[in-house]
Amino acid sequence: MSIINKSPVTSYKDLLQMNNSNNGIDGNTRRLVDGEGTESVISLSDDILAVQPVNDDTAATFVVNNSSGDVLFYVDTYNNHVGALSNLINTQYAHFGVTNSQAQAFADDTHQAIPFGTSMASSTAPPAFGTSTDPATTFTTAEGGATRASDLVPMLWFVPDAIKISSVTSFEGADTATGDTTRMHLFSYDFTSGSTSALTNGTLLAHNSDVTNAGSEQSYKTTWTVDSSAVSSGKVILAFFRSDSINSDYSITITVKYFLT
């Protein structure tokens, strides 16, 4: 809207000013206000541009769109999110995995821990977390196969900062013509250093629905249900695989999408 040929009394509310007694921009950061003194989201000085909501954190505080109106960048001061190109900019990915040769040590109808990281560390003695519907909520280390500290450590994903899980996706493939019914879980635990009571306070974070695996001629992708997305700093996270029988050994990859909070 143009103010050409308009008197100040009919246009002053649409004029922006520094509210600085006619001294303009200087070294002090001040709110940009309109002609009647209503504050805007913008503050300015000769070195600083600041954006801070005046009234409502639930509004999109800072947004950059392209010419078509698509959001390219945004700051959400209510949820403490910063996004770019439809993703939070602090989005991260973590991976668990095991090959079928390493999974030969898996027992039937037992929750077996899966190595953390893309290296797929050797799991010739994978820790077992019981045969209940969900993995056990505690784990005690001891001298013996599948209970040693050396068996447990490759399975641990340590979370140094609080995170929120966005999604979990897995792939599995059998190595013989006959498959099994399989299922997987993601759990967080408290870890106690230097103690045989290594893992306590297990919490279900996510799980997939049972997969009726028909064998080695096809692989399967599943998108998991996220049961509890928030994980506090200092926790460890483990992934588990269970099959109702052992017709096949399985190669498994699990991708966890998350962001820092």
Give the angle subtended at the CA of 53 by the CAs of 39 and 15, to the nearest 5°. Answer: 30
Q: Are residues 95 and 177 in the same domain?
A: yes
CA distances from 56 to 61, 83, 94, 231 (A): 9, 19, 35, 28
CATH number of domain containing 235: 2.60.120
Contact residues for 195 (Cβ-Cβ < 8 A; gap 6+): none
Query: Is 170 inside a domain boundary?
Result: yes
- The predicted model scores a pTM of 0.78
Which residue range is the domain that position 75 belongs to? 8-88
Residue 2, domain member (yes or no) = no
Q: Is residue 1 part of a domain?
A: no
- The two three-digit tokens of residue 227, written as one number: 């049961």
Q: Give 149's DSSP letter.
A: H
Q: What is the pLDDT along the chain (261 residues), one digit of tens a residue?
A: 676 777 777 777 777 788 778 888 888 888 888 878 888 888 888 888 888 788 877 777 777 888 888 887 777 777 777 777 777 778 899 999 999 988 999 999 999 999 998 555 556 789 999 999 999 999 999 999 899 999 999 999 999 999 999 999 999 999 999 999 999 999 999 999 999 999 999 999 999 999 999 999 999 999 999 999 999 999 999 999 999 999 999 999 999 999 888
Q: Does residue 95 share a domain with residue 19?
A: no
Residues 123, 225, single domain; the answer is: yes
Q: What stretches of the chain adopt beta strand conformation (E)?
A: 16-17, 30-34, 39-44, 49-51, 62-65, 71-76, 81-84, 87-88, 91-98, 112-114, 157-158, 163-174, 181-191, 199-207, 211-212, 219-223, 225-226, 230-231, 236-243, 250-260
Decide if 210 is inside a domain: yes
Domain count, the chain: 2
Q: Are residues 237 and 143 in the same domain?
A: yes
Looking at the structure, tell me whether residues 186 and 110 fall in a common domain.
yes
Q: Are 117 and 210 part of one and the same domain?
A: yes
Quote the CA–CA distance of 69 and 220 in Å, as a whole number: 38
Residues 41 and 143 in one domain: no
Give the list of residues 6+ apart from residue 42 with CB closer than 8 angstroms, or none. Answer: 31, 32, 49, 50, 51
Name the token pair of 105. Answer: 């040590």
